[in-house]
Structure 1
Amino acid sequence: MISAKDFIPSKYTHSVEKGNFQWSAPSNIALVKYWGKKDNQIPANPSVSFTLNNCKTITKLAFAKKDISPEVSGSLNVTGNNFSFDLLFEGQPKEDFKPKIQKFLERIEIYLPFLKDYHFTIDTENTFPHSSGIASSASGMAALAMNLMSLEKALNPEMTEEYFYQKASLLARLGSGSACRSVKGQVVVWGNHANITGSSDLFGVEFPNAIHANFKNFQDTILLVDKGEKQVSSTIGHDLMHNHPFAERRFAQAHENLDQLISIFESGNLDEFIKIVESEALTLHAMMMTSMPYFILMKPNTLEIINAIWKFRNETKIPVCFTLDAGANVHVLYPQNVAEKVLQFIKNELVGYCQNGQYICDEIGNGAVLI
């Protein structure tokens, strides 16, 4: 059994003065939802997600060894025992992101002891509109974790590929839980599950079992119903599960649904897939509606879209379904072979419910990419 201690390095064999790396990492959409966590970003239940392809964060990390020689160590600019970084978002300084990065570096320092030796410039941008209600913390933290692992690999070139990706996912998780599912693979499981070999609470793993051709090239069209800031942060939402009256049953349900998905992925049964995915989305929102304090994150147009999808599916027998994150936007999921009909339906009937008619076409991707 792998433990977090296995990712604490002993010593590095090489030294690197300065350089830069650039990675892109995608967002992901959970099919079985993670909602509720224990200490250190450990999930209260396992989850599984489709990795997206087009909605991604591109992050460039430039680094240079700090000069901590005796002559300059008295000067105010040298932060020999602090984290030193500049943060740019789309080329402009972004001060309000800095506390989150500072907290992230504090959490991961035990795993990357070189962090205080360097000054970092983190330059990041999204391919999707910022604050469009698409989770950018998952793609953002995954992209940053990949860059930091590239630096660690330069310091320790003997590192295996398996260790590289497991540790990148572990680091990403400490920035944003679901970020660990944005590192590698098309279908990613995070959280211990009795019937999924290699599954772990520490990092995401590629779904190890058979996946039917029906789920290859699956499409996700994201309908931007509400682009405002989230009413309740994910962190607060997860915390509300601690004393939730239905928490234990919900965690058990996630295990059961993941169990069912194992055979669904193998058989390609789209009807059963739709039942699980839509039920999971509604359960996530039901947990928020029944917590204390309680929240309704859906908007009237979210419900209009859901009802329109149900009506369309009923009338046409086309296997299209919805899922939701912790917000009002709707992810419309469907196999590639019905894309033309579904996109026509979206343009004809659903675009009117989107803010400024905006939606994003995405599909399953493979995870982070070195640029």
Structure 2
Amino acid sequence: MIEKDFIPSAYELKITEGKVSYKSPSNIALVKYWGKKENQLPQNPSISFTLDACATTTQVFYNKLPKPSDDFSFELWFEGKTKDDFKPKIKTFLSRIESYLPFLKEYHFKIETSNSFPHSSGIASSASGMSALALCLVAIERQLNPDISDSFFLKKASFLSRLGSGSACRSIEGDIVQWGNHKNTKGSTDLYGIKYPYEVHDNFKNYYDTILLVDKGQKQVSSTVGHNLMHDHPFAVQRFSQAHDNLDKLITIFKNGDLKEFIKIVESEALTLHAMMMTSMPYFILMKPNTLEIINKIWEFREVSKTNVCFTLDAGANVHVLYPENEKDVVFQFIKDELIAYCENQQYICDRIGFGAKKL
């Protein structure tokens, strides 16, 4: 599909008011997206596990205005309170998607949203938040045009999510989602995420992710700034090539269930992401001393226990501890005994692979 396919023709129905609700999860990238072109298009393809427990629930109430507004008419409530400091981001998002949802200025929207995890926990909520909102808005469009098919609905929701937050396009479906053109992945595109189309061994079903909250503070650099620093990065070309190569390797790894090779790719990708930040100009370090302590503890435990526990990182200090379902008891005991001492206020979140957003 191409972008213009998401621009609708005239709607069949007229609706004056209503309500839609969606719950959409976060995701954790295995091959990282870092660096973007115009219109939130990725410089390299990425792949992620969709999560389950870390999710945003959004309800959108809509009422037809007496006449179309010159601007977007909306109010935003976050966990029961008005949240005006979120409004500029939502307004930017609505501006980006207006040509694909031409009804937006014909209604007043009341957006009520909440997270299953603390907002200040250092867990990125843009993926779950933007995907939940996009799903609600496409659901409103479907009420105006009931002929929209299920497959088109999911593609459009992912396409619009991307315009709010790049990684949000990987939160619509599950359990493994790929985003970005990759010559060896059938159906891959920069425009939206797709369900991973190839065989996946049982070793990767029901994977666990325990998120260790090392630092719950505001990141010292926004993702947008970080992505833009890749434009003149001395190692950008090599990094983008590496992501393609790692996706090629994962096709074989996912098929044959090779957990040792999976660990090499996932941990290398996490460290490469941070290496890109440390070698950009300006440069920055988002890992904290306790991040490194946790990584070293995981390496030591893996060597001694012969388990397949590994880590990955987002663009921050928190550590995602990944492990297969058949090792969950021994690994979780290790996490409780050895790792939560390095978390801020000993806080962590237990999660696992999920299967995408749900209509409520």
Interval of TM-score (by shorter of Structure 1 and Structure 2) = over 0.9
Partners of 2:64 and 2:323 lie apart in 1 by 48
Distance 1:356 1:337 in 2: 29
The residue number in structure 1 matching 2:20 is 21
Residue equivalent to 2:95: 106
Alpha-carbon distance, 1:131 to partner: 2.1
Structure 2 CA distance for aligned equivalents of residues 45 and 240 of structure 1 = 14
Q: How does 1:3-152 map to 2 (within 5 A)?
A: 3-68=2-67, 80-152=69-141
Question: C-alpha displacement at 1:139, in angstroms?
Answer: 0.2
Matched residue, 1:335: 324
- Provide TM-score, normalisation by structure 1: 0.96
Give the Cα–Cα distance (whole angstroms) in 2 for the partners of residues 50 and 287 of structure 1. 22
Distance 2:14 2:187 in 1: 33
Deviation at residue 107 of structure 1 after TM alignment: 0.2
CA distance in 2 between partners of 1:364 and 1:185 (Å): 8
Q: Which amino acid is the alignment partner of residue 340 of structure 1? A: D
| Alpha-carbon distance, 1:38 to partner | 0.1
Cα deviation code 1:307-359 (max 9, x no counterpart):
00000000111000000000000000000110000110001100100000000
The one-letter code sitting in structure 2 at the alignment partner of 1:343 is F
Taking only the aligned residue pairs, the percentage that are identical comes to 66
Gaps of 5+ in 2: none
Question: Is 1:253 aligned with 2:242?
Answer: yes
- What is the distance in 2 between the residues matched to 1:3 and 1:295? 37
Partner of 2:269: 280
Unaligned runs of 5+ in 1: 69-78
CA distance in 1, matches of 2:187, 2:345: 44
1:174-193 mapped onto 2 (5 Å cutoff): 174-193=163-182
In the alignment, the residues of structure 2 paired with residue 238 and residue 161 of structure 1 have an alpha-carbon distance, to the nearest angstrom, of 32
For 2:14 and 2:120, locate their aligned partners in 1 and report how far apart those are by CA, in whole Å: 39
1:67 Cα deviation from its structure 2 partner: 1.3
1:54 counterpart SS class = strand
More off after superposition, 130-139 vs 304-313: 130-139
Residue 280 of structure 2 corresponds to 291
Q: 2:161 — aligned with what?
A: 172
Q: What's the CA shift string for 1:216-271, capped at 9, x where partnerless?
A: 00000000000000110000000000000000000000000011001100000000
The corresponding residue for 2:343 is: 354
Deviations 1:170-220 (A, max 9, x none): 000000000000001210000001111111100000000000000000000
- Within the alignment, does 1:163 sit opposite 2:156 as a pair? no
Q: Look up the match of 1:210.
A: 199
The equivalences for 1:318-333 within 5 A come to: 318-333=307-322
Query: What SS does the corresponding residue of 2:119 show, helix, strand or coil?
Result: coil
Match of 1:304 in 2: 293
Distance in 2 separating the partners of 1:15 and 1:197? 38
**2:121 is paired with a residue of what secondary structure?**
coil
RMSD: 0.6
Could you say what secondary structure the match of 1:189 adopts?
strand
Instruction: Report the Cα distance in structure 1 between the residues aligned to 2:186 and 2:136, rounded to whole angstroms.
Output: 28
TM-score in terms of structure 2 length: 0.99
Distance 1:331 1:112 in 2: 36
Q: Give the alignment of 1:217-232 within 5 angstroms.
A: 217-232=206-221
Aligned to 2:228: 239
AA aligned to 1:10 is: S
The amino acid that maps onto 2:113 is T
Taking the aligned partners of 2:188 and 2:15, their CA distance within structure 1 comes to: 34
**Secondary structure at 1:24 match in 2:** strand
Rounded to whole Å, the distance in 1 between the matches of 2:83 and 2:331 is 39
Cα separation, 2, equivalents of 1:370 and 1:135: 22
Deviations along 1:42-82, whole A, 9 cap, x unmatched?
000000000000000000000000012xxxxxxxxxx7221
Deviation of the 1:91 alpha carbon: 1.0
